[in-house]
Amino acid sequence: MSSADFPARQGLYDSAREHDSCGIGFVANIKNIASHEIVQQGLTVLDNLTHRGAAGADPLTGDGAGILLQLPHGFFAEECADLGIKLPGPGDYGAGMVYLPQNEDARAKCEAVIEQIIADEGQLSLGWRDLPVDNTVLSDAVREIEPFIRQIFVGRGNNCPDTDAFERKLFVIRKQIHKAVRDNGYAGDEMFYLPSFSARTICFKGMMLAGLVKGYFCDLKDERLTSALALVHQRFSTNTFPSWELAQPFRYLCHNGEINTLRGNINWMAARRRSMSSELLGEDLEKLWPLIADSASDSATFDNALELLVAGGYSLAHAMMLMIPEAWNDNPLMDADRKAFYEYNAALMEPWDGPAAVAFTDGRQIGATLDRNGLRPARYIITDDDLVVMCSEVGVLEISEEKIVKKWRLQPGKMFLIDLEQGRIVDDEELKSTLAGAHPYQTWLNKTQIVLEDLPADGETHAPDHQTLLKRQQAFGYTQEDRKYFLLPMAVSGQD
């Protein structure tokens, strides 16, 4: 099933009330040493999360599972050489995982759009590779909606001075591709989706159970395929529908829990469109809209918003702190700088609230965070040979006790981060103190905030023009009930 095939609101079903409760985890080498063993360990963790996934009446049909890895340059260089494609060095090319229609005519139209937009944005289409898969592990029902999967390799153009700029350009290209294919109906009634399109990471995922991922994607069994990290997810959507697109991980994260403020979050992201600007994205920013259009779940929406923040220049950790902040407002134990950081950023991004555990990576850092109430489990261990295993449960990977140097859990509102380029774990206190001290947030607050309690009590007041006030109340959706039961008690007696 494609997300486009989901039924309309009817009876007791409403897509706005969709939730899931999944298994998440990652395996990483702190020193950024890539190996096939990390890939195998990630798949083992995923397999041991089988109990976290939903299965249909057919035991081969699941809600979705997948694994996100660093781009395996050595493996792709050899594979592409056999196809007559010469890849440049790491960081100078990107790989796109593309889910295409099975219909040949529709597939050709989609591929032509992809190549055209890549060229229009000043990048180089290096060639295509058919992804080897074994669909005998899938059920008949899933095979009927299975996409035709290919990989496209894109060379960095002259208008991208470095890998960061190239990564942003790939993001812009991908959003335009989705929009062009969708708006013109090139895929017909079949699926079209790009699970990943990056110079740093690649995602293998599908509508299957955890144990079938390594059987379906033949590349995952190849010992030449290496990575220093493996982010995995097993989906259990408790009252929604499975699909290939909504399997996780997404492009930056995987998620266990629910975003309860989702409708408001989506509306606020749309409302910011005309007031948003970016020195890094420049005119490309307008090409990203609609920002949240190729996904339907709370997790996918969260990933879309996070992707925009990172492309706009926020560090991955900073962006996650904006979206899932600690409890800061009435916390007497929090230092003033960090409280000022959260207060300032609260005006830029409202919290994406709900019981949530999120694991995330950009290929250079990997980490996880919990919501302020800590209502989802997440535990981790660190070994003496620089291996970190974080998961929504314990016992997902068999490791001798004598090798474990630390065993702990994520705490409410805290973040666990590994900087692979620095080869170390960044402590929550260090991470947040550094970000909070990077700018004079309290000074900025003092210059921009108006505190009602500080206004003079005998100041001159002016009654607003009635018609102007009425138009603004109507524009913002106020009703007579709001005025009578909400606004009036607040104005008269300070009740909330």
Calpha distance 56→66 (Å, rounded): 18
Q: Give 56's contacts (C-beta < 8 A, 6+ positions apart).
A: 62, 139, 141
Q: Give 8's contacts (C-beta < 8 A, 6+ positions apart).
A: none
CB 360 within 8 A of CB 252: yes
Q: Determine which one of 22, 80, 254, 391 is catalytic.
A: 22
**DSSP labels, 413-459:** T-EEEEETTTTEEEPHHHHHHHHHTSS-HHHHHHHH---GGGS-TT-
Q: Based on C-alpha coordinates, what's the Rg of the chain?
A: 24
Q: Is 218 a catalytic residue?
A: no
Is the backbone peptide bond immediately before 242 cis, with ω within 30 degrees of 0?
no
Please tell me whether residue 50 adopts helix, strand or coil conformation. Answer: helix
| DSSP state at residue 59 | T
In Å, the largest CA–CA distance within the chain is 81
Is the backbone peptide bond immediately before 249 cis, with ω within 30 degrees of 0?
yes
Calpha distance 113→185 (Å, rounded): 12
Q: What share of the chain is helix, strand, coil (3-state, %, to 5)?
A: 40, 20, 40
Calpha distance 232→24 (Å, rounded): 6
Please tell me whether residue 266 adopts helix, strand or coil conformation. Answer: helix
| Residues belonging to the active site | 22
